[in-house]
Amino acid sequence: MVIKEVLQDTPLKLLIVDDDDVDRERIRRMLRKAKINASISEASSIEDSMTYLNKDEYDCVIIDYRLGAISGLSLLNMIRTKLGSHCAVIMITGLGSENVAAEAMRLGASDYLQKNQLNDVQLVRAILSSVHRAELEKKLHDMAHYDNLTGLASRPLLLKKLQQSITHSEVAAVAFLDLDNFKPINDNYGHDTGDLVLVTIANRLKKIIRRGDTLARLGGDEFVLLLKNMSNTDECNYFLNRIIRQINAPIELTEYDSLVQVSASVGVAMVGNTSLDADTILRRADQTMYQAKGLGSNNVLFFDPEEEQRQHQRRALLQEAERGIFHNEFVLHYQPQVDMINHQLIGVEALIRWNHPTLGLLYPAEFSSALEHANIGILIGEWVLQEALKQNCLWQDMNLTVSVNIAPAHLLSKGFVERLDLLLQHTPNIDPKRLELEVLETVSIHDINNAVEILKGCRELGVSVALDDFGTGYASLSYLKKLPLNTLKIDRSFVKNILSNQEDRSIVTCVVALSQAFSYNLIAEGIESMDHEQALIDMGCHIGQGYFIAKPMSAEQMTQWANEYNQQVYAY
């Protein structure tokens, strides 16, 4: 018999639950006749059967419908509640009632057999098919609830356990952990080695988490820990730093005879008496992890409601900016730059403004930081360049240089030089030297080599480069020497106090000397009075801008101001 042959090589653990000794023996005889390779246990009551089930795991439980005064359906319900669908359960009855059969199947019976029709072939076939179906269901369950690579819980199981903690108002912490610098391992050694590193880290974390905690892998290099009974942030921080130290330990790659190390960033959201659901808490931990990653490697950061509000406002601002750029809400204002000795207008700085439909006129300080690292920030930066070039074409007779502030993320974005070249080609009436890009010291600090190459490319197009807010950052003389600059701009914070603060006056004097040593042009920002202007002239700085000269204004106002200014100069 095919069934017998299959079962002979398939060791099974069976539990027979029947309060009738004769019926239990009858089932045993059938199983012996089928020559099943099985370990058979017997129970005569629900209590006895639960004792067996609590101690051991069984492939199949065979239950009689009548267990004294109690229905076997009660035991079936208890088994499904405790074990889920991973254990096959066969219900045997002498009643032959369709209602009983329907109720048994509704409660999760794998099969339903009648005693008066039962034989060894029917019993074996029911056991085989029920066990096979239970195994398939377990595999499907594991595929849905466990990570195939590491054996850790996957997202559905994590969310289920987290939701249980929320429902029971348990005090816990959700720690979202992301490995830093993992991609180079995949790139340099291959994905198989990357998987080995992930498994190694998973095994390390399994050893350190406490009983009752849940460790999950959500995919890639992302792990999540659900830490029970964790109400104190200091205790949680201490525990998670232990986790990070385990992750930091070198991993030996025997195939390559080398060691690799990874770090981690962790975002934590606390769980307590809350109306939030599991997805929301996990998302909070995820968002906080990205904030931690922005601080550098091996940081643990706890969710901050105020920071969430700021992030919400930032996202809203991004959406409004995307609308604004297509509804022409952004405009450029221009601030004159003049030679303070001969009172000649030599250039303008283009400054973006946002005519927000509800908030009114917004200055860059109110929105630029929120947009800088988003794609819309780069798009707006491209628009500023295009508009500034178009406007300078209209001012061609005045021979002005227009200066445009370039955010670090915009400058370092892929293809910046190529896009700038296209803009210049589409503005053929403008001499490239009439465009000056103002960059911040932070560009040179964060990615000096890339910044140098990009700025060299801009210089090759004929465009000038100015270092804005010089002295407020951390640029050293070696950086200054590397950067292909034309101009230094003295920050307004130094200019403001040159009349009263000797230190600021000394700094400006040094910047003037540096500009002369490197043959740079020099522009002072923030000139607020005639005394400031004269002091700068006396120190050797001849070009400036500021409210004493003129405030930023629209293109139309700038044209009128330039005409009036030139007339005054000619009259003088």
The pLDDT tens digits for 253-302 are 988 889 999 999 999 999 987 788 999 999 999 999 999 998 989 999 99
The Cα 59–Cα 73 span in angstroms is 19
Cite the residue boundaries of each domain of the chain with CATH code 3.30.70.270. Answer: 155-303
**What crossing angle do the helices spanning 72-83 and 46-55 adopt, rounded to 10°?**
20
Using an 8 Å Cβ cutoff, are 71 and 95 in contact? no
- 155-303 domain in CATH 3.30.70.270? yes
The pLDDT tens digits for 93-147 are 876 677 778 888 888 888 888 888 888 888 988 888 888 888 888 787 777 788 8
Residue 250 has pLDDT above 60, yes or no: yes
pLDDT at position 3, please? 45
Mean pLDDT rounded to a whole number for the chain: 89
Cite the residue boundaries of each domain of the chain with CATH code 3.40.50.2300. Answer: 2-144
Residue 571 has pLDDT above 70, yes or no: no
Contacts of 506 (CB under 8 A, 6+ apart): none
Angle at 376 between CA 373 and CA 377, to 5 degrees: 50
**pLDDT-derived band at 215, boundaries 50, 70, 90:** very high
Assigned CATH topology for domain 2-144: Rossmann fold (3.40.50)
Rounded to the nearest angstrom, the gap between the alpha carbon of residue 270 and the centroid of all alpha carbons in its chain is 18
The pLDDT tens digits for 300-316 are 999 998 888 888 888 88
pLDDT at position 135, please? 83
pLDDT at position 444, please? 56
- 325-571 domain in CATH 3.20.20.450? yes
**pLDDT-derived band at 430, boundaries 50, 70, 90:** confident
The Cα 157–Cα 145 span in angstroms is 5
Question: Bridge partners of 63?
Answer: 17, 91
The residue among 400 and 1 whose pLDDT is bigger is 400
The Cα 131–Cα 137 span in angstroms is 10
Residue 499 has pLDDT above 80, yes or no: yes
Cite the residue boundaries of each domain of the chain with CATH code 3.20.20.450. Answer: 325-571
